[in-house]
Structures are given as structure tokens and as C-alpha cells.
Amino acid sequence: MTNTFKNMPWNDYSSYIKRTFGQRVQKISVNAGFTCPNRDGKISKGACIYCTNKSFSPFYCNSGASVREQLEKGIAFFSPKYKTQKYLAYFQSFTNTYGDIDYLKKLYLEALSVEGVEGFVIATRPDCIDEDKLMIIKNISKGKYISIEYGAESTIDKTLVFINRGHSYQQTIDAVELTAKIGINTGLHMILGLPGENEEDFYHHAKEISKLPINTLKVHQMQVLKETKLAQIYNESTELFFDLKLENYILVIVKFLEFLNPNIIVERFTSESPKDMIIYPDWKGKKNFEISHMVMAKMKELDTYQGKRFVK
């Protein structure tokens, strides 16, 4: 197998977007006021042990405003930066298919009615989707871009239990396969460095998700944030945590990409949280684009690329 990506050692998201839309596209985050079955008592009231939604909500993303208002405010913020671009509504906060079908349909249609919005991306859990919801999503989005991103986080069930995720990896497989079968773009979120997992587990994740019909992947480092259950675990049992020094993580990402199916489009390698919330790892405020440059430099140094070790 040889590297077939133009100017890049991995199948990058920016190139995919340009191929798909022919121009720049900006995601606008939306907080539609959803909760999560891991918070409201359906599964648990404890939430995932790392969860705090304070860490990923832009200023314009406010559940007190309507979907339209949030999108228009986000577009007003981004539009002066570029003369021409389109937008995707990104239903980001909590579980964005966790509700009545009619209510979901109303929110998604509201997003699509905003001028300049070319489609939407829905972040959700694999246990909060079914065929009826998927068919509604597909039917209302004809002619528009649509993607559903599932928070898998790990392919190892004992890890999913430990982090109080509330679903199994088999449920992730089932949700992805159903979504792909219906003809909707499908993405996954994965976390590297969850407590109890080691380096071989990370590459196991790459091999397992490479078997799935996913289009896109977001992978990021585990972050221990203040005011979470994970922070308490970290303070009491640091031996459970992989050494996430930045140079270690870069090497892990490089090898992870080598095992990853080259058809999978990689959107990001890191998660960015407010510096005053981060306990571990402390990367001194490094941004996603800076980490990407470091990964690229290391891959070029090692003369490697995404899929080099991939086996069908």
C-alpha cells in the first residue's frame, strides 16, 4: 500500500470539504437544549465521568436562543472572515437525537431554513437512534449535506462501563451500520487515553473502527477537567492513566493512523478546552492546527501515512 493523499500523509477533512462543496464551509455550533439519557435518569444521573459541557460551547451557542438565532449569530461572527463560504449547523451539545420525532424534525428544519446553511451535522449517542429517526432525517434533508456523529469513545466494553458511558461497543456497530445502510454520512468520536487503556488498546481501536462503514473520524486526547468525576479518579489513581505528554501523544497518533482504514476522513486529533479547566494533560494551550502540524512533521520524518499497516 502506498500513500495516495495529495500533499498530506492522512485523509484530511479540509480536502474532503473542498471536494464536496467546492468552497470553504464553516460549522456553526447549536445548543438545542437537549439532555442525555446518562443525565436524566433513563440510564444514569451521573453522566460520563469526564463530562462537563462547559468545555465546548462557543459564545453564540446558547440554549436560551432559538436554533435560528444561534445560527444567525454564528454566521454574523464568521462571515466577515471570508468573502465566500457556506455553513453547516452543528447540533453539538449533549445528545441531539434524544427526543420526540416531531420535535427533532422541527429543530432540523429550522436549521435548514437559515440562509447559507447547506446542511447539518448531528452529534449523538449510538443508543439514541433508530430507523424512524434516521428516515425522518434523510427525508427532510434531500439536496442538503447530512452527517450523524456517534460518540463511541472506546471499542472496549470494560472501558465503557468504567467511564459510565451507558452503552456497549456493539450498540455503536449497530448504529453505524444502520445509518450507513440508510445512506447517511456517518462519523465517530474516539478518545485516546481513557483510564485503564494502554497503547495497544489505542491501536486496537483503530483496527476495529476500520471495519465499520464510517465516513469521518474525530479522535482526541482524554482530558481531565475540573468538576468532573474523572478529576477525582485522577487525583486518587494516577497509575490508571497513560502518559499523555505531547510527544508521546504525537507518536501514538502517527501509529494509530498507520492502522486506520485510509478511506476514513480524519477531522481532528485533539480537543480544546478552556485552559483554566484542564488538569491533565497540560499542553500549554496548543491548538488543534498546531498539533496537526506536529503530526504531519513526524509522519514525514518517519516516511509514513494513514493506512500503511491497514489490513482489510
Residues 6+ apart with CB under 8 A from 147: 119, 120, 121, 122, 184, 185, 186, 187, 215, 216
Domain count, the chain: 1
Range of the domain at 115: 13-302
Please state the rounded mean pLDDT for residues 283-289: 89
5 domain residue, yes or no: no
The 10s digit of each residue's pLDDT in 90-125 is 999 888 998 999 999 999 999 999 999 999 999 999
246 domain residue, yes or no: yes
In angstroms, what is the C-alpha Rg of the chain?
A: 19
Please state the rounded mean pLDDT for residues 277-286: 91
Share of the chain above pLDDT 90, in %: 77
Whole-number mean pLDDT of the chain?
Answer: 92
188 domain residue, yes or no: yes
6 domain residue, yes or no: no
8 domain residue, yes or no: no
Q: What is the pLDDT of residue 247?
A: 96
308 domain residue, yes or no: no
- Compute the distance between CA of residue 70 and CA of residue 92 in angstroms, rounded to an integer: 12
- Compute the distance between CA of residue 62 and CA of residue 56 in angstroms, rounded to an integer: 12
The 10s digit of each residue's pLDDT in 19-29 is 999 989 999 99
- How would you list the strands of the sheet with 216-221, edge to edge? 25-30, 86-91, 117-124, 145-153, 185-192, 216-221, 265-268
- Compute the distance between CA of residue 146 and CA of residue 129 in angstroms, rounded to an integer: 15
4 domain residue, yes or no: no
311 domain residue, yes or no: no
Q: What is the CATH number of the domain that holds 213?
A: 3.20.20.70
Q: Any idea what DSSP says for residue 124?
A: E
Cβ–Cβ under 8 Å, residues 179 and 130:
no
